[in-house]
Amino acid sequence: MTAQPEKDLPPEKDWPDAVEALNEHGRSDIVLLCEHASNHMPAEYGRLGLDAAHLQRHIAWDIGAAEVTRLLSARLDAAAFLSGYSRLLIDLNRPLGSAGSIPVLSEATEIPGNSGIDPAERNRRAEIMFSPFHDRVAAHLDRRIAENRPTRIVTIHSFTPVFLGVARPWHAGILHDHAVGLAEAILSGLRTDPELNVAANVPYVISRDADYAVPIHGDDRGIPAVLIEIRQDLLANRAGIEEWADRLAAALPVHDTEAVR
């Protein structure tokens, strides 16, 4: 695996910014999000009672997604926003208060440190980790609208090859709700490689009850928005990450008549 950032950090870096913003003045109409970019947990959380090995698993972050996002930002000259904390503390792509927001069970793994936490701790995590990320994204989108800049949102994720014992055959999925045209254009670009197994709305579907970025930042604003899921074993090394960054850069349409201005 290429990226294993979770490690002991000096105290001043134990509480990083909730969002890493890249290339906010990039010329592309695409805005990249990576809500599961980091597996970092401040030391005071004691890894939520988990062994260190669990923080390298998908339950803690989306393996390879941050690296793909950074490369895409550079290749496309696109703005990008990446999370600073593990999804186990609070999931940036789940509505606050939902079962998946601060999970007590992730896949088949119990998360002891999330069991029975009080409203004050829930609010603290939201104020430190969730709200700053989404406020920064919303402010960026507001500026683009004020500047009459066309905008499309692409959020980058990765998924496990096997989930609860069920194998997933797809190499990638393009999840969408309202943005049918953008999703179909990306799928068409990816399907120029006949060896790829790609489809819409796999291995998940967008749901307002279980997703945040696409419905809130995208659909509610009338901005075309999709979530790209890449199978994690395809991002297991630098070559795979580079290959998928190049593949997506080529597949994303340069112009989109649906893009908000």
Question: Is the CB of residue 54 less than 8 Å from the CB of residue 227?
Answer: no
List beta partners, residue 198. 172
- Calculate Rg over the CA atoms of the chain: 18
Q: Angle, to 10 degrees, between the axis of helix 65-76 and the axis of helix 238-251?
A: 50
pTM score of the predicted model: 0.94
Evaluate whether the domain defined by 11-251 bears CATH number 3.40.630.40. yes
User: What pLDDT shows up at residue 1?
Assistant: 38
CA 165-166-168 angle, to 5 degrees, is 135
Please give the share of the chain, as a percent, with pLDDT higher than 90: 90
CA distance 227 to 203: 11
Summarised one tens digit per residue, pLDDT across range 137-181 is 999 999 999 999 999 999 999 999 999 889 999 999 999 999 999
* Residue pLDDT, tens place only, 219-245: 999 999 999 999 999 999 999 999 999
pLDDT in tens, 8-54: 545 558 999 999 999 999 999 999 999 999 999 999 999 999 999 99
- List the chain domain ranges: 11-251
pLDDT band at 218; cut points 50, 70, 90: very high
- At residue 257, the pLDDT reads 45
